[in-house]
């Protein structure tokens, strides 16, 4: 592994100053970053350890009804917070479907958002990868690419974003609070991750040295609690990334959908907000036909990037199933296999 400096700032201001120099990166729990460093995929000159910064490990209920989640809140602590899980059940379900219990106990909110792609060629330094080394090529294009993107990809890169957490967050209009060289600013989560275009080496719209300090859920996000689910298809029932996933949230009044929210995972380089699908669900009854129509809209721009045409049909079916589960109502407690299609379709609970 390449030698690097290690600094442990005491304040957010010190952290931002320490990360201003080229080659510096933030270290949170390290469950992704340290793996990448050990494999020589990431070669930072300086690690700025943010795990001891005060005040970033809180879940705060704001006066306007929004929820502010500090960037250092652990994935498991958030998912198991009873108030959080009942107000934002699809997010809790997504968190509990990710990684393993040990990883969730240590992984942080900020690190989960900024984890890198799981494209195998990105991790293999003997392969050509435009994301790891700009302009070097993309061995995934003619390689093993059945798990790659079907939306928003480019000839330069066909990788997907691996986070489960981000999928319901994007559906619920989450906002990311950032501290940078020019002070505090915020952006919609939908604008955090980038599509690859000609510059796949840039995963996000963040500037060097930008520190995520919190993620905020707007007051309206709570309105979906009664009808919100996350559904994830993976190659085994736990400890695996999504092949395809969907977060569905509905606001149902008098038998009609007043508002729908839909996010897709495993299909693009960013968590994918399916706004056209949401539009067709407005003011209609929550029927199988309406959900089919929404699924077609959600995937209308999809095209295979390799040996992955199956993902388009799979994603349509997952959208229909997630909407169906959401319409049936959020279960009072999480199923034994959170976010799994092998859990009961009715959302009923395993004892
Ligand atoms: C075996 C395995 C299986 C997994 N399965 C899943 C899965 O099914 N679903 C899923 O969603 N995830 C999965 N993960 C990924 C896991 O969720 C991430 O590794 C974890 O969330 C990263 O959090 P961290 O705190 O360890 O981040 P780190 O590894 O410390 O950091 C990750 C990146 O974020 C940056 N960073 C961290 N915090 C900040 C901040 N506050 N501001 C700016 N930059 C920051 C770092 O510089 C780094 O680039 C899996 C991981 C492993 C190892
Ligand atoms: S798909 Fe993207 S991450 Fe994977 S090898 Fe190609 S450029 Fe690299």
Distance 299 CA to ligand 2 centre (A): 22
CATH match of 59-114+161-219 with 3.30.465.10: yes
Summarize the confidence of residues 7-24 as an average pLDDT: 97
Specify the pLDDT at position 343: 74
What number does the ligand 1 atom closest to the CA of 163 have?
A: 11
Domain with CATH 3.30.390.50 in the chain: 221-328
Please tell me the predicted confidence (pLDDT) of residue 3: 95
CATH class of the domain whose range is 1-54: alpha beta
CA dihedral for 114, 100, 221, 262, sign (positive or negative): positive
Q: Which pair of structure tokens corresponds to residue 161? A: 């974003």
Q: How far is the CA of 112 from the centre of ligand 1 (A)?
A: 4
**Ligand 2 centre from 316 Cα, in Å?**
25
Atom of ligand 1 nearest to the CA of 210: 43
User: d(Cα 57, Cα 34) in Å, to the nearest integer?
Assistant: 21
Q: What is the pLDDT of residue 186?
A: 98
CA distance readout (Å), 92 to 34, 77, 86, 257, 321: 26, 10, 9, 23, 18
Cα(122) to centroid(ligand 2), Å: 6
Look up tokens 């080659």; give the residue.
23
Asked if residue 131 has its Cβ within 6 Å of ligand 2, the reply is: yes
Residue 89 banded pLDDT, cuts 50, 70, 90? very high
Indicate which atom in ligand 2 lies nearest the CA of residue 132: 8
Examine the pLDDT at 250 and tell me if it is beyond 90.
yes
Model confidence, pTM: 0.97
Q: Is the beta carbon of 129 within 6 A of some atom in ligand 2?
A: yes
Task: Please identify, by atom number, the ligand 1 atom nearest to the C-alpha of residue 108.
Answer: 25
Residue intervals in the chain for CATH 3.30.43.10: 1-54
- Does residue 272 surpass a pLDDT of 60? yes
Torsion of CA 77, 82, 87, 91, to 10 degrees: 40
Amino acid 348: pLDDT: 42
Q: Which pLDDT score is estimated for 344?
A: 60
Q: Say if ligand 2 is within 6 A of residue 159 CB.
A: yes
Cα separation of 195 and 2, whole Å? 29
When pLDDT is averaged across residues 158-172 and rounded to a whole number, the result is 98
Closest CA to 261 of 269, 270, 271: 271
What ligand has the least distance to the C-alpha of 51?
Answer: 1
Instruction: Domain 221-328: state its class.
Output: alpha beta
Mean pLDDT of 102-126: 98
Regarding the beta carbon of 312 and ligand 1, being less than 6 Å apart is answered no
Answer yes or no: is the C-beta of 28 below 6 A from any ligand 1 atom: yes
> Tell me: the pLDDT tens digits for 30-52?
999 999 999 999 999 999 999 99
Mean pLDDT of 280-301: 98
Contact 248, 260 (CB under 8 A): yes
pLDDT surpasses 60 at 350? no
Distance from C-alpha of 25 to C-alpha of 268, rounded to nearest angstrom? 25
């Amino acid at each position: 592994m390449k030698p690097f400096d290690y600094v442990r700032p005491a304040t957010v201001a010190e952290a931002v100053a320490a990360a201003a120099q080229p080659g510096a990166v933030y270290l949170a729990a390290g469950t992704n970053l340290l793996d990448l460093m050990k494999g020589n995929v990431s070669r930072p000159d300086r690690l700025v350890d943010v795990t001891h910064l005060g005040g970033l490990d809180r879940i705060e209920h704001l006066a306007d009804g929004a929820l502010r989640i500090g960037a250092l809140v652990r994935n498991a602590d958030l998912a198991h917070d009873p108030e959080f899980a009942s107000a934002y059940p699809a997010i809790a379900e997504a968190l509990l479907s990710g990684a393993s219990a040990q990883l969730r106990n240590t992984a942080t909110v900020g690190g989960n958002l900024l984890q890198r792609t799981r494209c195998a060629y990105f991790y293999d330094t003997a392969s050509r990868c435009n994301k790891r080394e700009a302009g070097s090529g993309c061995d995934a294009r003619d390689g093993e690419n059945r798990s790659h993107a079907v939306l928003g990809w480019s000839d330069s890169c066909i990788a997907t974003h691996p986070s489960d957490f981000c999928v319901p967050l994007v559906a619920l209009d989450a906002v990311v609070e950032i501290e940078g060289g020019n002070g505090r600013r915020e952006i919609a989560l939908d604008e955090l991750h980038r599509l690859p275009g000609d510059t796949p080496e840039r995963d996000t719209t963040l500037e060097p040295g930008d520190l995520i300090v919190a993620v905020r859920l707007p007051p309206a996000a709570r309105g979906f609690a009664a009808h919100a689910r996350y559904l994830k298809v993976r190659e085994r029932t736990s400890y695996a990334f999504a092949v395809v996933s969907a977060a569905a949230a509905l606001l149902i009044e008098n038998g009609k959908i007043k508002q729908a929210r839909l996010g897709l995972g495993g299909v693009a380089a960013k968590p994918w907000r399916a706004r056209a699908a949401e539009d067709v669900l407005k003011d209609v009854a929550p029927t199988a036909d309406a959900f089919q129509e929404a699924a077609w809209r959600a995937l209308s721009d999809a095209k295979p990037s390799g040996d992955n045409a199956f993902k388009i049909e799979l994603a349509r079916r997952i959208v229909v199933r997630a909407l169906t589960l959401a319409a049936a109502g959020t279960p009072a407690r999480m199923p034994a296999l959170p976010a799994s299609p092998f859990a009961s379709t009715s959302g009923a609970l395993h004892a």
